[in-house]
């Protein structure tokens, strides 16, 4: 599960990681008042307006804007709430923006990257840090892998203070700034573990510019602020399998950010991911789904989706699965590929027949059934042949892929 940046900032704050103050707005009219409130709270006229969407690359897309007046804030809000955001992470159609974060801006001396994630190869969590923050870490990793610091984390002991300090020094930080950064690393790692994250990322973590003492006459000697370390962007992903023990995190779920078809599938316990092709796939088991997509591609076709009904789908869920596939106008043919192990072929067959009765589809349908109760499944399909004029039975995987690609003219 993903959350918004403003929610991630709240999590950081709750863990005592410094974050500039901010508030969320949903309309252009609220921008001016939000600007004034945040500028006052942050003691600065520099304010940043940021689109709240589940995708990165906002800065380059023009959806992170620095403003210095209520008028500029309103203009930035108007732009973001009336244009779709297109970034390398969104696809060409872009994303609609419903919420904006209005936050106190900071003067940046340097941007760092900091994250905790799981390294499957070493079977440990790992702290990743880089002095080349701000940009996407994948680019740094590709062009300058030496600029990335990795500190493996002991599974029982967690990140140790000396390891965090060492990482902070390797980022080139010194003295107070190194201590602040090490402290942030330790807090972030604790948060990662406590909330069962799969990713906890701060990018950028910034060292603010040194500020000169204010010009207001003050007889006492003034020490200039040498800058301090704060998080100005954060991203958290959570392990779905552990969500049941984090009611607070579940409550952060924003359905507006999810694909409606994927949401519906989730409700019925189905795993559905829309793809760009025109052959709808209904499969049981993720591995079989992968090989089904592969074999469709091998035969020159393009899958329209990944849909795994799992091992114990009900007739109702299979019916919904069919309706979800058919709701995609791009679908010109459907391939059902079931290997009944736990899944009963008769349940799948009945689901297909029900869906046909409820939505009545015309696209070619190629069915390959094998395994548990397969004879009953085939009998159900045969009996319903009149309501399934486009049905073709396939003998095996290759035969199914050949038939469905031929049917869509691939």
Binding site for ligand GDP (CB under 6 A): 48, 50, 56-59, 64, 66, 105-106, 108, 111, 134, 203-204, 232-233
Instruction: Please tell me which residue in 5, 111, 112, 113 is annotated as part of the active site.
Output: 113
Beta-strand relationship, 64-67 and 47-52: antiparallel
- The CB-of-87 to ligand GDP minimum distance in angstroms stands at 8
Tell whether the torsion through CA atoms of 286, 290, 295 and 301 is positive or negative: positive
In terms of CB distance, is 84 or 378 closer to ligand GDP?
84
- The CB-of-340 to ligand GDP minimum distance in angstroms stands at 45
Q: Which stretch binds Mn ion (CB under 5 A): 114-122, 150-158, 230-238, 365-373?
A: 230-238
| Strand, helix or coil for residue 64 | strand
105 contact, one of Mn ion, ligand GDP, none, CB 5-8 Å limit per kind? ligand GDP
C-alpha–C-alpha distance, residues 280 and 390, integer Å:
14
233 touches Mn ion (CB under 5 A): yes
Q: Give residue for tokens 């159900």.
A: 380
C-alpha–C-alpha distance, residues 316 and 67, integer Å:
52
| Burial of 24: CB neighbours in 10 Å, binned 0-12, 13-18, 19+ | middle
- In the residue annotation, 113 being an active-site residue is answered as yes
| Strand, helix or coil for residue 15 | coil
Task: For 157, list phi and psi in degrees, rounded to 5.
Answer: -85, -25
# residues near Mn ion by CB under 5 A: 2
Give me the residue whose beta carbon is nearest to ligand GDP.
59
C-alpha–C-alpha distance, residues 183 and 258, integer Å:
35
C-alpha–C-alpha distance, residues 48 and 37, integer Å:
13
Candidates 207, 239, 237, 238; CA nearest to 225 is 207
In terms of CB distance, is 232 or 356 closer to ligand GDP?
232
Tell whether the torsion through CA atoms of 20, 25, 31 and 33 is positive or negative: negative
189 touches Mn ion (CB under 5 A): no
203 touches Mn ion (CB under 5 A): yes
In terms of CB distance, is 229 or 349 closer to Mn ion?
229
Q: Give residue for tokens 């085939």.
A: 378
- The CB-of-197 to ligand GDP minimum distance in angstroms stands at 18
In terms of CB distance, is 63 or 339 closer to ligand GDP?
63
- In the residue annotation, 201 being an active-site residue is answered as yes
In terms of CB distance, is 136 or 262 closer to Mn ion?
136
- The CB-of-312 to ligand GDP minimum distance in angstroms stands at 39
Chain positions 300 to 339 lying near Mn ion, rule: CB under 5 A, are none
Candidates 326, 395, 394; CA nearest to 354 is 326
Instruction: Please tell me which residue in 201, 257, 315, 320 is annotated as part of the active site.
Output: 201
- The CB-of-43 to Mn ion minimum distance in angstroms stands at 24
| Strand, helix or coil for residue 197 | strand
The residues annotated with a catalytic role in the active site are 113, 201
- Interface residues with Mn ion (CB under 5 A) are 203, 233
């Amino acid at each position: 599960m993903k959350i918004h940046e403003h929610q991630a900032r709240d999590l950081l704050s709750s863990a005592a990681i410094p974050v500039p103050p901010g508030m969320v707005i949903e309309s252009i009219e609220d921008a001016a008042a939000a600007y004034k409130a945040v500028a006052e709270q942050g003691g600065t006229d520099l304010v940043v307006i940021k689109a709240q969407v589940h995708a990165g690359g906002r800065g380059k897309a023009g959806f992170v804007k620095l403003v210095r007046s209520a008028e500029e804030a309103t203009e930035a809000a108007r732009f973001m709430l009336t244009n779709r955001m297109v970034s390398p992470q969104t696809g060409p159609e872009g994303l609609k923006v419903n919420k904006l974060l209005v936050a106190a801006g900071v003067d940046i001396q340097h941007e760092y990257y900091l994250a905790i994630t799981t390294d499957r190869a070493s079977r440990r969590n790992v702290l990743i840090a880089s002095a080349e923050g701000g940009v996407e870490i994948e680019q740094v990793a590709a062009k300058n892998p030496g600029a990335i610091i990795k500190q493996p984390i002991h599974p029982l002991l967690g990140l140790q203070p000396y390891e965090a300090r060492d990482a902070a020094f390797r980022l080139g930080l010194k003295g107070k700034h190194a201590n602040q950064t090490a402290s942030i690393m330790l807090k972030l790692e604790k948060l990662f573990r406590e909330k069962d994250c799969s990713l906890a990322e701060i990018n950028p973590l910034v060292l603010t510019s040194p500020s000169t003492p204010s010009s207001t006459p003050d007889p006492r000697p003034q020490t200039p602020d040498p800058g301090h370390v704060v998080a100005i962007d954060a991203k958290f992903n959570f392990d779905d399998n552990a969500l049941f023990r984090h009611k607070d995190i579940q409550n952060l779920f924003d359905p507006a950010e999810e694909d409606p078809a994927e949401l519906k599938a989730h409700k019925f316990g189905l795993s559905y991911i829309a793809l760009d092709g025109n052959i709808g796939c209904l499969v049981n088991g993720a591995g079989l789904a992968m090989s089904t997509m592969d074999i469709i591609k091998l035969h020159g076709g393009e899958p329209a989706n990944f849909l795994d009904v799992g091992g114990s789908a009900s007739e109702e869920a299979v019916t919904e699965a069919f309706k979800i596939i058919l709701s995609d106008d791009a679908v010109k043919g459907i391939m059902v590929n079931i290997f009944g192990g736990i899944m009963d072929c008769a349940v799948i067959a009945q689901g297909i027949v029900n869906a046909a009765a409820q939505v009545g589809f015309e696209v070619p349908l190629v069915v390959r059934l094998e395994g548990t109760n397969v004879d009953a499944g085939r009998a159900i399909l045969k009996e319903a042949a009149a309501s399934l004029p486009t049905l073709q039975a396939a003998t095996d995987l290759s035969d199914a892929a050949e038939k469905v690609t031929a049917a869509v003219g691939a």
